[in-house]
Structure 1
């Protein structure tokens, strides 16, 4: 199992709008091949920083899979206007939480 971790900086004045926009585009993510679940978490000390953690069956399901899809392009178009900088994305391998 692979976890995609995206650190997403959002303009402070657009935090609530970003949350609504994410809810609108999330179905594009959830229908992707290999998708196993996700969590969008807002920072406590820095509420303008979000972390999106997505579980994938394999790295290939995320990249190139979802990232190369039309759904990913629409997903990003629905969110990118709220970013204060480019999201940073990395992957880790592991099992589910205990």
Structure 2
């Protein structure tokens, strides 16, 4: 199991518009090969930075898989005007959380 972690810096005052834009392009992500779920979370200390965590079956499902796809191009086109800086993306390896959240 691979997790993609993307830090998405959004222009101040655009966070609600970004959420709406993300909801519109979300199906493109959800239908990708190897997709296993995601979480989009807004920072508390830095509310203009969103954290996108996506679970993939393999690194190849994300890159080159989804990243090389037309769906990814459309996904990014729907979001890029909201970014105040280049998103930072990295990957970690691991399984599911050991204990459920309450």
Give the TM-score, by structure 1 length: 0.99
Report what 2:89 is aligned to. Answer: 89
Equivalenced residue count is: 98
Runs of 4+ in 1 over 2 A off after TM superposition: none
Q: What is the match of residue 76 of structure 1?
A: 76
The alignment's TM-score, normalised by the length of structure 2, stands at: 0.95
- CA RMSD in angstroms comes to 0.4
1:47-58 maps to which residues of 2 (within 5 A)?
A: 47-58=47-58
Query: Secondary structure of the equivalent of 2:32?
Result: coil
Deviation at 1:14, TM superposition (A): 0.7
Q: Deviations over 1:7-66 (max 9, x none)?
A: 000001111000000000000000000000000000001100100000000000000000
**Pairing of 1:34-53 with structure 2 (within 5 A):** 34-53=34-53
Which structure has the highest helix share of the two? 1
Structure 2: any 5+ residue segments left out of the alignment?
none
Counterpart position of 1:32: 32
Query: Structure 1: which 5+ residue stretches go unaligned?
Result: none
CA distance in 2, matches of 1:58, 1:46: 30
